[in-house]
Amino acid sequence: MTAHGRDRATAVAAGLVATYVLFCLVVFAYGEAPRGVVAELFAGTWGSAYGVGQVIFKATPLLFAGVAVDLALRAKLFNIGAEGQIAVASLALGVVGARLPVGIPRVVAWPLLVAVAMIAGGVWAIPSAYLKARRGVHEVLTTVLMNRVADTLLSLSLASGLALAGTTRTPEIVAAAKLPRLDVATSRLAGSSANVSIVIAVVVAFVVAWAFRRTRARELWLVGENPIATAAAKIPVARRIGQAMVLSGAVAGLASTATVLGYKGYFELGLGAGAGFGGLAVAMLGRGSAWGLVLAALFFGTLEQGGLAVNAHVPREVMSVLEGAAIVVVAVVERWSARATQAEAVA
């Protein structure tokens, strides 16, 4: 294992330990016995087939968003806009999915809607991509702004006739557009919301990682590492920066397949909210590795489902605090480990 790999492993292990210790302290502060609550959390997640299914379901949009943020990070871009990109893609899926012909074959509907989700997410990232690549405006500012614009756009669109009368949801998508639940393959997951979009998410994670190793997508990473050297090598720096942001938005848009196509069967206001911000945590914990991103998504999916399992003892919002704490610890320990490694190398 390389020195960087050891630093990452140490940081992640420290983050996991810190999360567990902090959770026990919070439980104790609420007057509960940590051991019993931890056991209940496990029983509500990995301790039952239904819990496993729910963890997988909650991890799916987090994985899509994590891959999207990680893709941007490789180009040294911080895509805070995954939340808005997912929301816009979800609305697009709900509208298009409901207007497809009733008799459309699944082999046509599924690829078409996947393309719709990617196009919607990518298009929503274009303003941020342009402003960063051509005007030098920091992407954090523009993506946060686009998130706010997305909130307004969704509310306005639904109120303007895209929603069913008296509701904040679109009509049901056609039957052929719906993704099967995983309980079709194993009845043990019956009742959970896990669906085959998790397969798409895992494939996307590994395809993106492979592309950065084997294709010209590596130029996105090179541009992020050293734009001056890549410009000297005749690589169009501004274009690659814009492409990285748009591709990140496109991947983020795929998170809508888990909620609209695989879960609800329609879009409603607030569906999938939080997945984009959760993807930031996934990317920070598992960045640079497909397996790392998958495991990070499962970890945070466990925290989300676990928050529901132990809500009678501690508020489920505590899990959001734990997610943030884990990221802070990982970042700090990784920085300390890297400095220690550099000091040893100099010595």
Residue type, 176: A
Q: What is the Cα–Cα distance from 84 to 271, expressed in whole angstroms?
A: 12
How far from the centroid of its chain's Cα atoms is residue 277's Cα?
7
Instruction: With a cut of 80, say whether residue 300 has pLDDT above it.
Output: yes
Instruction: With a cut of 90, say whether residue 258 has pLDDT above it.
Output: yes
166 in any annotated domain: yes
Q: What is the Cα–Cα distance from 147 to 124, expressed in whole angstroms?
A: 9
Reported as a pLDDT band with limits 50, 70 and 90, residue 317 is: confident
Residue type, 100: L
Q: Give 325's contacts (C-beta < 8 A, 6+ positions apart).
A: 18, 19, 22
Reported as a pLDDT band with limits 50, 70 and 90, residue 185 is: low
∠ Cα 8 14 19 (to 5°): 125
pLDDT number for residue 148: 96
Which tokens belong to 37? 């609550």
Instruction: With a cut of 80, say whether residue 143 has pLDDT above it.
Output: yes
Reported as a pLDDT band with limits 50, 70 and 90, residue 96 is: very high
pLDDT number for residue 338: 72
pLDDT tens digits, residue range 58-83? 999 999 999 999 999 999 999 999 99
pLDDT number for residue 328: 86
Instruction: With a cut of 80, say whether residue 3 has pLDDT above it.
Output: no
149 in any annotated domain: yes
Q: Taking residues 279-292, what's their average pLDDT?
A: 90
163 in any annotated domain: yes
Instruction: With a cut of 80, say whether residue 8 has pLDDT above it.
Output: no
Reported as a pLDDT band with limits 50, 70 and 90, residue 91 is: very high
Q: Quick one: angle between helices 82-99 and 237-253, nearest 10?
A: 60
Instruction: With a cut of 70, say whether residue 346 has pLDDT above it.
Output: no
Split into its structural domains, the chain has a count of 1
DSSP state of 144: H
pLDDT tens digits, residue range 151-180? 999 999 999 999 999 999 999 999 999 999
pLDDT number for residue 144: 96
Residue type, 127: P
Q: Taking residues 293-310, what's their average pLDDT?
A: 94
Q: Taking residues 297-324, what's their average pLDDT?
A: 90
Q: Taking residues 222-238, what's their average pLDDT?
A: 91
Reported as a pLDDT band with limits 50, 70 and 90, residue 1 is: low
Query: What's the whole-number average pLDDT of the chain?
Result: 91
274 in any annotated domain: yes
For residues 261-300, one letter each, b for 16 or more C-beta atoms within 10 angstroms of the residue's C-beta and e for the rest, the string is bbbbbbbbbebbeebbbbbbbbbbbbbbebebbbbbbbbb
Q: What is the Cα–Cα distance from 181 to 184, expressed in whole angstroms?
A: 6
79 in any annotated domain: yes
Q: Taking residues 296-307, what's their average pLDDT?
A: 94
339 in any annotated domain: no
Q: Taking residues 192-197, what's their average pLDDT?
A: 92
pLDDT number for residue 199: 95
**Entry pTM:** 0.93
347 in any annotated domain: no
Give whole-number Cα distances, 249 to 105, 156, 261, in Å. 28, 22, 19
Q: Which helix (H) or strand (E) is 164 found in, with range?
A: none
Sequential DSSP letters for 29-91: HTT--HHHHHHHHHHTTTTSHHHHHHHHHHHHHHHHHHHHHHHHHHTT---TTHHHHHHHHHH
pLDDT number for residue 225: 87
Higher-pLDDT residue of 13, 175: 175
Residue of 118, 139, 130 whose CA lies nearest to 73: 139
Q: What is the Cα–Cα distance from 142 to 174, expressed in whole angstroms?
A: 35
184 in any annotated domain: yes
Residue of 58, 75, 83, 17 whose CA lies nearest to 288: 75
Which tokens belong to 105? 């074959």
Q: Residue 276: give the domain boundaries.
A: 62-293
| Other beta carbons within 10 Å of 6 | 12
